[in-house]
Every structure is written in structure tokens, then in C-alpha cells.
Amino acid sequence: MRRKLIAGNWKMNGSLAANAVLLNGIKGELGQPTCTVTVCVPAPYLAQCRAELAGSPVAWGGQDVSIHDSGAYTGEISGGMLADFGARYVIVGHSERRTYHGETNELVAQKALCALRAGLVPIVCVGESLAERESNQTAAVVGAQIDAVLTRLDPKDLAKTVIAYEPVWAIGTGKTATPQMAQDVHAMLRAKLAEKSAEAAELVQILYGGSMKPDNAKELLAMPDIDGGLIGGASLKAADFLAIVRAA
């Protein structure tokens, strides 16, 4: 049985003062969760997470990683740097990076590999746009996104990877995929993973992301191939994030 993972993606939100309130709110009420919990924060706040969360059940991570280890790459952050601050996870290929920064399937796959090399767990995001869903291209688009990762990773690395299915039309819109819609794509993804390695396919956590909230989390998380959530907006309020953790 796969352990559930609830990951908060703060995106480009936060301040030292606001983060302190949020992190203390989460820590104070969390107790001993039965699922794994992490927050993925803007890089400048990794040190704050390390100071506030070390020794707690909450892990922390980044939102992007460079494909380079070091050197003249202004603005880039390496996996080693994230690991230096105790990060355990890093999101790669979020649709906002694909859309606003032109990240391709191949680049995302390289980033996943670099994260693994640095000892981090990549949370690889895949998902289709509304136009793609409406023209019945979901399986083709998501399939191509995952295929790039499967080409790069060997079964051992694959088993250490997390996948997040995030339909772009559900992100920050309040529209959620129905549990069955999400389950169908998750099952398709797991079948793809199994073509590479049946063992890895059983181990990989496949998260759902896209307007997951306290009032819909339970139903989504009850589906057999939904192993957790990648939470945007609701991860910025301690009460909402904790409610989703409890639903898991």
C-alpha cells in the first residue's frame, strides 16, 4: 500500500512574517500525520523552513531545479543547493514553468534526473490544457509528457520519483476534475509506468493537483490510483492545508 503524500506548492507567495504564521500553524496542529507532508517554497525561504521545520514531520522542498550543477547560469538553482538547505522534494515541470518559461518535455525529464542525482525526490508535473481535453488529446499529451521521463529514468530512479497529474484547466480556477476523471488519467499513467517497470509502477506516488480543497479532497483521495495531492491555493492557509492532510 502506497503512503499518501500531501505537498503544498506555495508558488511565488509568502514573506518571512507570513511564512512564520503559516508554518507554526501547520506544525502546531499537525500531530503525527499518517501521510507524508511537505511544503515546496520559493528558494529564498528554504533556510526559514529548515529553521522552523527541522525535527517536525513536515518536509520542505523547492519549486524548480537547474539541469546544471554549478557555473555561469545566472538565476539558476542547482539540486545540490536545494539539498544544502535540507530540501527533500523539488517540483519539476509545473504547468506554470512549461507555459511561462517554455519548458519542454525533454527539459523536464532532464530536471527530474538532476534532482535524483542530487538526492532529491522530483515531483514531476504533467497535465493537459482545456483545449486538449476538449479535443480528446488528454492521453496523447500526458502520455508524451510521461514518456520523456520514462526515457530518461531507469527503473531504480523511477521508483524514487513522484508524479503529479495537474489538469491545467483545474489549476487555480476552482474547477476540479471529478474523482473518476482524475482516476482515469492516474490509471493510464500507472499503466505507462508499468510498461517500464511493474515494480516501480506499484511504488510511485501519483498526486492529483488542481483546486484540491478541504471539501473535495476526501473523494479524490479515495480513488485507488490517487496517492496524494499537490496543493496550491489551499496550502497557503494552515487550516485548509491541515484539513487536506487529515483527509489523506
Interface with ligand G3H in residues 145-174 (CB under 6 A):
166, 171-172
Annotation says 94 is catalytic: yes
Q: Which residues contact 246 (CB under 8 A, 6 or more apart)?
A: none
Count of residues interacting with ligand G3H (CB under 6 A):
14
Question: Is 166 a catalytic site residue?
Answer: yes
**Using CB under 6 A, which of 62, 93, 122, 232 touches ligand G3H?**
232
Tell me: does residue 211 bind ligand G3H (CB under 6 A): yes
CA-only gyration radius of the chain, Å: 17
Q: Which residue is nearest to ligand G3H (CB)?
A: 232
Tell me if 209 contacts ligand G3H by CB under 6 A: yes
From the candidates 96, 132, 166, 186, give the one annotated as an active-site residue. 166
Binding flag, residue 9, ligand G3H (CB under 6 A): yes
Q: What is the DSSP string of the chain?
A: -PPPEEEEE--S---HHHHHHHHHHHHHHH-S-SSEEEEE--GGGHHHHHHHHTTSSEEEEES---SSSSSS-TT---HHHHHHTT--EEEES-HHHHHHH---HHHHHHHHHHHHHTT-EEEEEE---HHHHHTT-HHHHHHHHHHHHHHH--HHHHTT-EEEE--GGGTTTS----HHHHHHHHHHHHHHHHHH-HHHHHH-EEEE-SS--HHHHHHHHTSTT--EEEESGGGGSHHHHHHHHHH-
Region binding ligand G3H by CB under 6 A among candidate stretches 20-28, 54-62, 109-117, 208-216: 208-216
Single residue of 46, 177, 230, 244 touching ligand G3H by CB under 6 A = 230
232 is in an annotated binding site: yes
* Residue choice 210, 217, 227, 248 for contact with ligand G3H (CB under 6 A): 210
Quick one: 87 or 171, whose CB is closer to ligand G3H? 171
Closer by beta carbon to ligand G3H, 39 or else 201:
39
Residues 80-119 binding ligand G3H (CB under 6 A) are: 94
Site for ligand G3H in 23-82 (CB under 6 A): none
By the 8 A CB rule, do 120 and 89 touch? yes
Q: Is 10 annotated as a binding residue?
A: yes
Q: Which residue has cell 535540507? A: 86
Residues that bind ligand G3H (CB under 6 A): 9, 94, 166, 171-172, 209-212, 230-234
Which of the residues are catalytic? 94, 166
Extract the annotated binding site.
Answer: 9-11, 172, 211, 232-233
